[in-house]
Structure 1
């Protein structure tokens, strides 16, 4: 288990699936996590169990816990590029009571420190959509920089939005947050 200042990160367990199912069926959670409402909600508990517990071999998914070991979100990484020592990161704080309180930022710092120091990654990428200002600010607080924009790459609630592409290099992160 990885421990941050406010969060703990552990593998997702079978007992987590009921909570994840509720989050996947919450319009507001899905809107801010991916802009994909209602597409993400068309999965059964069994499909979510396969996705989160079995998953693909190149996708790593973890649970985010608060100080009292309450499940509050998920995060992970995918698209691992061994020669480039890079990956793409994702995070969802599903428990809305924890939004805007620094839990997501703490979980990101904790996982990213692990990826840079233990996995020896050089670069981490992520993306969001242009109206997800809260996420963009949290990513910038961690050290991510906006590297680009894909015009009208997301379709959210009947409108096209730009995807915001962000990246973080190992040296930048370690200079901000130490080892």
Structure 2
């Protein structure tokens, strides 16, 4: 389990599936997390359970909780490139009452610190769609920089939008956030 200042990141448990199921089938959550409503959503509970509990090759998913251990979303990484020591991450705050309150930023700082110091990654990347300005701002607070734009790569609610590609290097992150406040308990 990883502990940040406001968040806890732990392995997904079976009791988490009901909330994850609701969030992955919520139009507003999916609109802002991926811009892909409803094309990659509308999963049944068994599909969500398989996705989160059984995992897949090189995809690591975790539950995201408040400091009071209330489940509010998920975070994870994929696309591991061993020679380049790079990885892609994602975060979804499914509980809308926690949007805009710094939980995502705290989780990203905690998770990035873990990936840079424990997994020894050199680079973390992510992408979002151009209208997701709240997420872009949060990513920039963590230290991510816009590295590119794929023109009209996302189709969201009947319109094309650019995909924004962002990246963060280990030295940039450590310069900004250091390794302080990093706590690991048990297994992740």
Q: Please say whether Structure 1 and Structure 2 have the same fold, judged by a TM-score greater than 0.5.
A: yes
Say whether 1:66 aligns with 2:66: yes
For the 8 Å contact 1:64–1:73, the answer to whether it is kept is yes
Cross-structure match for 2:8: 8
Cross-structure match for 2:163: 163
Flag the structure with more relative contact order, 1 or 2, with Cα contacts below 8 A and sequence separation at least 6: 2
Distance 2:30 2:13 in 1: 21
Distance 1:92 1:42 in 2: 16
Cross-structure match for 1:77: 77
- Listed as ranges, the matches of 1:15-164 within 5 Å are 15-164=15-164
For the 8 Å contact 1:147–1:166, the answer to whether it is kept is yes
Distance 1:75 1:60 in 2: 9
Distance 1:67 1:4 in 2: 8
Deviation of residue 42 (structure 1)?
A: 2.3
Unmatched segments (≥5 aa) in structure 2? 180-188
Deviation of residue 159 (structure 1)?
A: 0.2
Deviation of residue 41 (structure 1)?
A: 2.8
Aligned alpha-carbon RMSD (Å): 0.6
Unmatched segments (≥5 aa) in structure 1? none
TM-score, normalised via structure 2 length: 0.94
For the 8 Å contact 1:24–1:40, the answer to whether it is kept is no
Deviation of residue 43 (structure 1)?
A: 1.1
Deviation of residue 141 (structure 1)?
A: 0.2
Distance 2:6 2:92 in 1: 16
For the 8 Å contact 1:87–1:124, the answer to whether it is kept is yes
| 1:165 match: secondary structure | strand
Distance 1:95 1:129 in 2: 20
| 2:165 match: secondary structure | strand
Runs of 4+ aligned residues of structure 1 deviating over 6 Å after TM superposition are none
Deviation of residue 40 (structure 1)?
A: 3.0
TM-score, normalised via structure 1 length: 0.99
| 1:28 match: secondary structure | helix
Deviation of residue 61 (structure 1)?
A: 0.3
Distance 2:57 2:127 in 1: 21
